[in-house]
Structure 1
Amino acid sequence: MVPGAADGSYPYAFGEDDREIKGASVAGDAARLDPGGTYRGTLPDGATLLYRLDLDATTNAYVSATAAPRPGARVASADGLRVSVQDADGHLCSTGTVHFGPTRSAHPVAAWAGRETGEGGSYLCRGAGTYYALVERRGAAGVSGASSSSGDWDLELDYVTEPGPRGTGDTAPGTWNSAAPEPLSGDPVRRVGGAGFAAARALEQGVWEDDVRPGQTRFYKVPVDWGQQLYATAELADGTGGGDDGGDGGGFVGTALTMSLYNPVRGRVDDAETGYGGERSTTSLRPLPPVAYENRYASEDRIGAMRFAGWYYLAVHLGTPVADRFGDGPFGLTLRIRVSGTARSGPVYMGRSAPGGVFEVTAGTRREAVAGTGGGPGDGSGGGGGPGSGAMKLVAAGGLGTGSLLVLWLGLWTLLSRRRRPRRTG
């Protein structure tokens, strides 16, 4: 048995800047979340945790919670997580729920909720004042605290604010091409995914290869600008997982591989799933609209979630039941990523988001995608983030700014890549 494989004990990679926080059971004790902050805590079994948000009358606020069951946890398909935002009087602004699903496999899942000041938000939640984010475990029949999994879950909170736009009316999303293109072909390039949102491996359009073991979740991120569409396909290679790690090599696992898409505020967009019987198996996200501000007024949640430009995250999970049939792996994983459409200008915001630049795709963002930064601790790649990652950490310790560091690292990455190219003969 590979340590941390089929027992669901792969660790979740929290952000290095996450702050410790303790959720409260009553509103009067709720700790305040700072705009742009990320936090780390625990979600006990049966608890509903509250956190305070201090909001003005014009800013949209989004809270995403990622639950990561601890090593050895067992979950049912109906177990999951719910996030809600309420005003001081208990009026519900919005809520979001996510379940572990038919893989019956413990893995990181994220749900989101928010306070919106436009026509898409609740009328009772448009004023300035104190609001609360509530995070709770869900179980069978949607009952709060009825999770079949005992023990604490690790919890990561992400709090993002979006200023109001200048001169953008509340309009319904326009028509868009909903036909799925042919998946990209070509020789894949290896990129090892990370073990959390903060450690997600950057990808651009292309064909990418990795591997994954039962119980493991790989995180990736793709820049998608205003006016662009994202398509993603995940392919699990044929075979029995290789080696002497158990499994009878027969049968079929109904839901083996799950690919989840999250938007720049870690809000769930959609999922794609596939079974596995030892032969190559593929799943693709349903076609999504081009990124547009007005998507938030759509009646369908997955379209409404495509409301921001920025990094979009893919979380690919291989269910623990695969190990019983086909061994502990690793199993080959191929991602085919297509970003179509010409980038266009987005809304003109009356202020800055927190964190800054979260709803932008800049030249630096695209360089990250080309270089394949990220991965980080817990990605199974020895902590490396690609060529030169060790040098990057040393330089960072010396106190260089982020911009200078990125330029230096990209230069080093290019140099090392050139050295690895075979020389021409003749």
Structure 2
Amino acid sequence: MGRRTAWWRTRIQGGRTPVSGAVRRVVVLAAVLCATVGLTGRPAMAAGSPGAYGYDQGDRVVAGATGTADAEELKVGGTYRSSLPKGAGVYYGLDLDPTSNAYVSVTAVPPAGTTVAATDGIKVSMQNAQGTACTHRSATFGAGRSPHPVAAWAVREAGKILCKGSGKYYVFVQRVDAADSSPDTWGLELTAVSEPSLAQAGTTSPPQDWNSASPEAVTGEARHRAGGSGFAGAVAVGQGAWRDDIAPGRTLFYKVPVDWGQQLSVTAELGATDGGSGYVTRALDLALYNPVRGSVDQAGLSYQGSERSVALDSLPPVEYRNRYSVVDHENGMRFAGSYYLVVHLDAQVADDFGQGPFPVTLRVRVAGTAHAGPGYAARPDPRNIFEVTAQDREAAAAGGAGSLGSAGSAGSTGGGGDTAMKVLAVAGIGGGSVLLATLGVWTVSARRRASTTAH
């Protein structure tokens, strides 16, 4: 753009054509158009690419720092986009009050086609200003070695001794790579959520009397419901059987509203194929994340071409007290809201059974009667993240996005981030065409007026 701008300046100011106000407006509008095309064109291409992750359109771009001194600040209630080079560890800052719990989830997004090992992934930790770690968790790609979005979360629980008090805290995201993994930089999406303290303190013991027997899967013919391409664009489903087609290497995102006192169970089925032969160890991966995008449970199935199914572990009803359990898939069921189902089909399936797509069915059961929440002393941020609203239930029945309570959903409408990107792309193309036509008319008019003035 530097040389092109200089050329325009020479043509206008070099003496042959006087600079009119109209010409100046044309030049300014041309610059605006270039910026508009840059903003709308690149995300539209990314959203349309096969297997591309659907980032939240409200994400703010932040750079990870190599040390705490330069760490950019994350705001609770916000969503962010960043990146993580191979072998790197990066810091982000966070100012916290003394009484709220804070949750930061980090989704790692490797580019399609990159090479990863089973142990590759990320480690995420929260630490105070003195460098003491509050918590740390990790996420890996697993035995399938198929690159796909994975998320890990870090927590500051206000009542814990190690991380009490207000002030500056830091989120440290570390990439874990095998020596022979690809050197590609991974994308990151981060969310920060605050959970207020309770108005009245309750018991600190986990529930002991919930029904842990494996429930029967929901039966009946599955209805088609296309999955989203990211957490922000996750498509709502409720109790029932839901079907979509998935290509090898792709990942589908759904969300299920689960209220206080309700118990979620999920079974995934991968349909049979007529072509090919072979054996894929971890063909289908089913992961469950809670409303703050914290990992709850994961299951996978092998595949030889015939129909297979796999179920998540038996999960307790959603209760505040579950956080005191030492078992991950119980501990994660600690608040009401939208629980995310993430389904990934291993890229290796294409080598043995072709490009598909392959039918995948989710059988979702939400049992139990909802009851009132634990009684927070204030509102969380985002505001409705730990609630199930009437809008959420309607979306689950119709396949919409639900309320804006879930972390990162504020930038999505209808089908989530995918729909928003399509609208943005169309608007960019249409708006660009109109601007180009207008530029042409204004340019001709400006030249005529300038010529008349010169003579």
SS in 1 for 2:105: strand
| Contact 1:22–1:31 (8 Å) recurs in 2 | yes
| Contact 2:231–2:340 (8 Å) recurs in 1 | yes
Out of 150, 161, 175, the position equivalent to 1:137 is 175
* Aligned position for 2:196: 163
| Contact 2:248–2:348 (8 Å) recurs in 1 | yes
Paired AA for residue 207 in structure 1: A
* Aligned position for 2:150: 109
Provide Cα deviations, 1:297-334, integer angstroms capped at 9, x if missing partner.
Answer: 11112211110100000000000111110001000111
Uncovered stretches (5+) of structure 2, i.e. residues with no partner: 1-44, 403-412, 428-455
Q: Compared with structure 1, are the counterparts of its residues 340 and 270 closer, same or farther at alpha carbon in structure 2 (3 Å cutoff)?
A: same
Q: 1:184-195 maps to which residues of 2 (within 5 A)?
A: 184-195=218-229
| Contact 1:54–1:131 (8 Å) recurs in 2 | yes
Q: Compared with structure 1, are the counterparts of its residues 147 and 63 closer, same or farther at alpha carbon in structure 2 (3 Å cutoff)?
A: farther
Query: 1 or 2, which has the higher helix percentage?
Result: 2
* Aligned position for 1:76: 117
SS in 2 for 1:369: helix
SS in 2 for 1:166: coil
Uncovered stretches (5+) of structure 1, i.e. residues with no partner: 141-145, 243-248, 376-382, 398-426
SS in 2 for 1:103: coil
Out of 132, 139, 151, the position equivalent to 2:184 is 151
SS in 2 for 1:93: strand
Q: How much has 1:169 moved relative to structure 2?
A: 2.0
Q: In structure 1, how many angstroms separate the alpha carbons of the residues matched to 2:311 and 2:99?
A: 37
Q: 1:183-262 maps to which residues of 2 (within 5 A)?
A: 183-240=217-274, 249-262=276-289
Q: In structure 2, how many angstroms separate the alpha carbons of the residues matched to 1:385 and 1:58?
A: 36
SS in 1 for 2:322: helix
SS in 2 for 1:158: strand
Q: How much has 1:47 moved relative to structure 2?
A: 1.1
| Contact 1:76–1:149 (8 Å) recurs in 2 | no
Is 1:282 matched up with 2:323? Answer: no
| Contact 2:87–2:177 (8 Å) recurs in 1 | no
| Contact 2:249–2:344 (8 Å) recurs in 1 | yes
Q: In structure 1, how many angstroms separate the alpha carbons of the residues matched to 2:199 and 2:325?
A: 20
Q: How much has 1:139 moved relative to structure 2?
A: 3.5
Q: Compared with structure 1, are the counterparts of its residues 254 and 134 closer, same or farther at alpha carbon in structure 2 (3 Å cutoff)?
A: same
* Aligned position for 1:346: 373
SS in 2 for 1:352: coil
Out of 353, 358, 364, the position equivalent to 1:326 is 353
SS in 2 for 1:367: helix
What's the RMSD between the two structures over aligned residues?
2.2
Out of 389, 392, 396, the position equivalent to 1:362 is 389
| Contact 2:86–2:177 (8 Å) recurs in 1 | no
Is 1:180 matched up with 2:214? Answer: yes
Paired AA for residue 93 in structure 1: C
Out of 73, 77, 84, the position equivalent to 1:36 is 77
Q: How much has 1:200 moved relative to structure 2?
A: 0.5
| Contact 1:9–1:70 (8 Å) recurs in 2 | no
| Contact 2:228–2:415 (8 Å) recurs in 1 | no
Q: In structure 2, how many angstroms separate the alpha carbons of the residues matched to 1:39 and 1:134?
A: 15
| Contact 2:234–2:415 (8 Å) recurs in 1 | no
| Contact 1:80–1:147 (8 Å) recurs in 2 | no
| Contact 2:323–2:333 (8 Å) recurs in 1 | yes
| Contact 1:225–1:360 (8 Å) recurs in 2 | yes
Q: 1:376-387 maps to which residues of 2 (within 5 A)?
A: 385=415
Q: In structure 2, how many angstroms separate the alpha carbons of the residues matched to 1:139 and 1:350?
A: 43
| Contact 2:233–2:415 (8 Å) recurs in 1 | no
* Aligned position for 1:246: none
SS in 1 for 2:244: strand
Paired AA for residue 174 in structure 2: E
Identity of aligned residues (%): 53
Q: Compared with structure 1, are the counterparts of its residues 131 and 233 closer, same or farther at alpha carbon in structure 2 (3 Å cutoff)?
A: same
* Aligned position for 2:328: 301
TM-score normalised to structure 2 length: 0.77
Q: In structure 1, how many angstroms separate the alpha carbons of the residues matched to 2:281 and 2:78?
A: 39
Larger-gyration structure (1/2) = 2
Out of 145, 162, 171, the position equivalent to 1:124 is 162
Q: In structure 1, how many angstroms separate the alpha carbons of the residues matched to 2:227 and 2:51?
A: 13
Provide Cα deviations, 1:163-222, integer angstroms capped at 9, x if missing partner.
Answer: 001113242111210111111111111000001000101001001110111100000000
TM-score normalised to structure 1 length: 0.82
Moved more, 129-138 or 309-318: 129-138
Q: In structure 1, how many angstroms separate the alpha carbons of the residues matched to 2:292 and 2:283?
A: 27
How many residue pairs were aligned? 364
Q: How much has 1:148 moved relative to structure 2?
A: 2.5
SS in 1 for 2:143: helix
